[in-house]
Structure 1
Amino acid sequence: MVIITQFCRRFAKASWLLATLLLLSGCQSAYYSAMEKVGVHKRDIMLDRVEDAQNAQEDAQQQFKSALDQLSQMINYDGGDLATQYELVNDQYEASKAAAEEVSGRIAAIEDVADALFEEWSDEIEQYASNNLRLQSQQKLRTTQRKYEGLIKAMHRAKDRMAPVLSALKDNSLYLKHNLNARAIGALQGEYNTIKRDVELLVAEMNKSIAQSQEFIDLLQPE
C-alpha cells in the first residue's frame, strides 16, 4: 500500500504541467476527476502541492539572499566594468522575480485543491451511517481546516514580504542602467541597509511558513 501511495504521489508530481494547463483553462474539476480515476486523490495532490510550495519558498530564500549578496558586492565596487555590474544586478532581480512568481503560483495551486478537498470532505461526511465515524471525520476535518488556515496565512505573509524587496531590486537595477558611473554606486549604498532589513524579515517569515508547511505535511502524511 505504501509503494502504491508513493507511486501515485510521484505521478501527481509529474502531472504538475497538466494541472497548470487545466487550471488555466478553468477545468480544475476535470483534472481532479481524472486523477482520482488513477488513484490519486485530492488529499494526495494537496500534500504534493504543499511540499512543492515549501521547496519553492526555500529556493526563493536562497535567491533573495543571493540578490542581496550581489548588491553588497556592487556597492563595494573598486573598479571594473560597470556594465557587467549592471548585468549581474539585473540578472539577480529577474531571478528573484521568477522565484516570487513561482511561490505565488504554488500558493494559488494549494488554495484551489484545498477548496475542492474541503468541499468534497464536507459532502461525504453526510454519507456516514455511523454517528461515531461521522463525528470522528468532522473532528479531523475541523483540525485539518484550522491547520490549513494557519498555513495559508503564513504563506501569504511570506509572499507579501517579497514585494518591497523586488521593488527595491528593480529600482537599483533601473538606476544603475541609466547611471553607469561610480557616483551611481555611491547613491545606491544608502539603499542597501533597507534592502538587507527587508530580506531578513522575508527570510524570517519564510522560515515560519516552511515550518508550518512541515506540520501540515505531517498531518496529511499517511500513517
Structure 2
Amino acid sequence: MRHVLLLSLALLTLTGCQSAYYSAMEKVGLHKRDILVNRVEDARDSQQQAKEQFKDALERYRSVVEVKGGKLEERYEALNTEFEASEQSARDVRNRIAAVEDVANALFKEWKKELGEYSNASLKAASAKDLERTQKDYRLLLQRMKAAEKRIDPVLDVLRDQVLFLKHNLNARAIGALQGEYRTLEGNVDQLLAEMQRAIDEADVFIRQLQRSQ
C-alpha cells in the first residue's frame, strides 16, 4: 500500500499538481518545512555538481586550444560533449531552484494563514517572529541562488558559439578563434564558480537554521 502511495506521489509531482502533492506528503508525515529542507539540499547539490561540470568544460576547452595533435573532429566531439553536459547541469540548477520557490511559497502562505488560528497571543507572536526570520533567511538564500543562476548563461553562450564555430570550421583558424576566447570563458567560469559557492554556503546555513527551529 505504501509503495502505491509513494508512486502516486511521484506521479502528482510529475504532473505539476503541487498542492495535491503537498497534501499527500503530509499524510505520510512529510510536511512543507521538511520538503523545503529536502529541496534546498537538492538545489545545493545540483549547484555543486554544476560547479564540477563547468570546471570540466573549461579544462576541456583549454585542452582543445592548447594540446597539439589529434584529430580536430575528435576534439570537437569532446568539447561538444562537455557543452551538452553543461547545458543539462544548467537545466538541473534552474529546475531545483524553481522547486525550492514553489514549496517555500506554499509554506509561507500556509504559515501566515495559520497565524490567524492562534488563541494564545504569546504563541502567535513567537510563531510570527519565527516566520519573519525564516522568510528573511530564505530571501537571502534565493538571492544567492539567483545570482549564481544569472552567471550560467554567459558561460553557455561562449561555449555554444565556439562549439558551433568549431563544428563548421575544423581547421587551425577555428582553434585560433577558440584561443582568443579562452580568457573570456575562464573569467566567466571563475565568476560562476564563486557565485555558486556562495549559494552553496548560504544553503548550508539556511538548512541548519531551519532544522534548529523545528
Distance across 2 between alignment mates of 1:59 and 1:19: 27
Partner of 1:211: 201
Is structure 2 residue 177 aligned with structure 1 residue 184? no
**Aligned match for 2:128, one of 138, 141, 149:** 138
Aligned-residue offset at 1:16: 8.5
Cα deviation, 1:104-134, whole Å, max 9, x if unaligned, reads: 0000000000110000001111111111110
Aligned-residue offset at 1:137: 0.2
**Aligned match for 2:150, one of 160, 181, 187:** 160
Partner of 1:73: 63
Is structure 2 residue 50 aligned with structure 1 residue 60? yes
**Aligned match for 2:39, one of 28, 49, 54:** 49
Is structure 2 residue 84 aligned with structure 1 residue 94? yes
Partner of 2:15: 22
Aligned-residue offset at 1:77: 3.1
Distance across 2 between alignment mates of 1:90 and 1:20: 32
Distance across 1 between alignment mates of 2:10 and 2:168: 39
**Aligned match for 1:114, one of 104, 107, 114:** 104
CA contact (8 A) 2:13 2:21 kept: no
Cα deviation, 1:125-150, whole Å, max 9, x if unaligned, reads: 11111111100000000000000011
The amino acid of 2:127's aligned partner reads S
The amino acid of 1:124's aligned partner reads E
Structure 1 unpaired stretches of 5+: 1-10
**Aligned match for 1:194, one of 184, 192, 201:** 184
Cα deviation, 1:19-77, whole Å, max 9, x if unaligned, reads: 54132xxx111110111111110000000000000000000000000000000000013
Distance across 2 between alignment mates of 1:93 and 1:201: 18
Aligned-residue offset at 1:187: 1.6
Distance across 2 between alignment mates of 1:52 and 1:203: 18
Distance across 2 between alignment mates of 1:20 and 1:29: 10
CA contact (8 A) 2:43 2:97 kept: yes
Distance across 2 between alignment mates of 1:215 and 1:196: 29
CA contact (8 A) 2:22 2:32 kept: yes
TM-score by length of 2: 0.93
Q: Structure 1 residues 117 and 203 mapped into 2: Cα distance closer, same or farther (>3 Å)? A: same
Structure 2 unpaired stretches of 5+: none
Distance across 1 between alignment mates of 2:70 and 2:154: 29
Distance across 1 between alignment mates of 2:174 and 2:12: 46
Cα deviation, 1:58-106, whole Å, max 9, x if unaligned, reads: 0000000000000000001311111000000000000000000000000
Q: Structure 1 residues 158 and 38 mapped into 2: Cα distance closer, same or farther (>3 Å)? A: same
Distance across 1 between alignment mates of 2:66 and 2:197: 29
Distance across 1 between alignment mates of 2:12 and 2:66: 45
Q: How much identity, in percent, do the aligned residues show?
A: 50
